[in-house]
Structure 1
């Protein structure tokens, strides 16, 4: 009975996600809350993919996230999805997200069940990021990539899909005040591009 109930919950979640991802709407960017930013027309953007991995293996769905190493040159200590830029050997941004998830957290490539993707998110660092949404219904041994990932943790999907948990905060960046989304959870300060993409998912799930 319990196994059957779990399967029904997963099927319901898949249906909700499929409907949410099918909602019309444009992409997002690190500049959404900063309309005064003027982007150069000749900027070069590189494709990347991140995995919005939703685990149902332990009951209530949880989103798997990483805390980047504080020793990294770019975005040290920040919260992020597993993922990265699309390499020449990757067949797609989804392939890049799955490869990076294997490298960064030890997630076997065959486990994620791809549901779809959120619209592209443009970052201040020059990437067009595709957030690939996937369900994971089996446990796996998490292995954080040495030197890259300081910690792997998860957050209840219910927390991330509650728009009241999101805040708009700001800080000075290169001498100019910039605003951004944040969705704190316990000791974890989730902000910037990761929070913006999660906010996009929350809008679609509640819409």
Structure 2
């Protein structure tokens, strides 16, 4: 695991800035008086290089059926985004906090739905069994880090949303259509992991 830890820690040190759902949509101007809510998501990588992702339940009001990292909004009882990410990962997937080694934060990502997401990159030790919380998560699955760390696997796609055509990154994997904020955060990680000095 030491080699994987070194690769991820090196990626964290790369000087890239925050990202946004507006990056690929320059004509879409965010509201000047918008109020952004904080959120923390866990970007968990197992010791053998498999990344853990979830598929959100289809009945949810926010992002139903989409692929996401375990995580959610920062509650008043959370010390910070890391605490929120760890709490949500436990609630959504039963990932025990003591199996998680937090390595650091990737740049924040602003969503068009009004969140500022802090991605918390972490290593998962051992092989703890995971269990989806059926109220929020319909499925837990894994994708090789090597796949999502390759910028060549990403495409820019688009769809009409609220009357406007919006562009976004996508990195489909088997039956899973990974897109939007999750794909944008992964694209940023891929850029950092393939950085050329």
Question: What's the TM-score once normalised by structure 2's chain length?
Answer: 0.97
1:202 Cα deviation after fit: 0.2
Name which one, 1 or 2, has greater alpha-carbon Rg.
1
Alignment partners' CA distance in 2, 1:142 and 1:195: 22
Query: SS of the counterpart of 2:138?
Result: strand
- RMSD, aligned CA: 0.7
Alignment partners' CA distance in 2, 1:176 and 1:194: 21
> Which of 62, 65, 80 in structure 2 is aligned with 1:92?
80
Unaligned runs of 5+ in 2: none
> Which of 101, 104, 108 in structure 2 is aligned with 1:113?
101
Unaligned runs of 5+ in 1: 1-9
Alignment partners' CA distance in 2, 1:69 and 1:146: 7
1:172 Cα deviation after fit: 0.5
In the alignment, which residue of structure 1 is the partner of 2:17?
A: 26
Q: Does 1:48 align with 2:39?
A: yes
Deviations 1:54-104 (A, max 9, x none): 012xxx301100001111111111000000010000001000000000000
1:169 Cα deviation after fit: 0.3
Q: Does 1:145 align with 2:133?
A: yes
Question: What's the TM-score once normalised by structure 1's chain length?
Answer: 0.93
Query: SS of the counterpart of 1:37?
Result: coil
Moved over 6 A (4+): none
Deviations 1:118-145 (A, max 9, x none): 0000011111100000001211121111
Number of residue pairs aligned between Structure 1 and Structure 2: 195
